[in-house]
Amino acid sequence: DSGVTQTPKHLITATGQRVTLRCSPRSGDLSVYWYQQSLDQGLQFLIQYYNGEERAKGNILERFSAQQFPDLHSELNLSSLELGDSALYFCASSGSGGGGPQHFGDGTRLSIL
């Protein structure tokens, strides 16, 4: 058990809809990272938050947004969903804002019908 909790485990929705994925980091970790994993692309970095502030952006679409709350949990919001957004979405946390290992949750599987 990594200590990182993601909910829900599965989401099934339709094109054009909006969903929110939730992540609780390991106790004491200040950084939260979001990654997308698809069969052909592997794990792709989306966005990082450190202690409530956005720290870095990767290949995140404009239709996607995230935030980190004062209690350090994070939410990833996906809107105007398209078939191609179907993927596994992982959250990871680390103690620092830069180096060191990241610990991953078990992900949210998003299926767009």
Partner 1 sequence: EDQVTQSPEALRLQEGESSSLNCSYTVSGLRGLFWYRQDPGKGPEFLFTLYSAGEEKEKERLKATLTKKESFLHITAPKPEDSATYLCAVQATGGSQGNLIFGKGTKLSVKP
By CB under 8 A, is residue 45 in contact with partner 1?
yes
By CB under 8 A, is residue 13 in contact with partner 1?
no
Q: By CB under 8 A, how many residues form the interface with partner 1?
A: 29
- Exactly one of 21, 102, 110, 112 binds partner 1 (CB under 8 A); that residue is 102
By CB under 8 A, is residue 104 in contact with partner 1?
yes
Cβ atoms of 40 and 108 within 8 Å: the answer is no
Q: Judged by CB, which is closer to partner 1: 42, or 70?
A: 42
By CB under 8 A, is residue 61 in contact with partner 1?
no
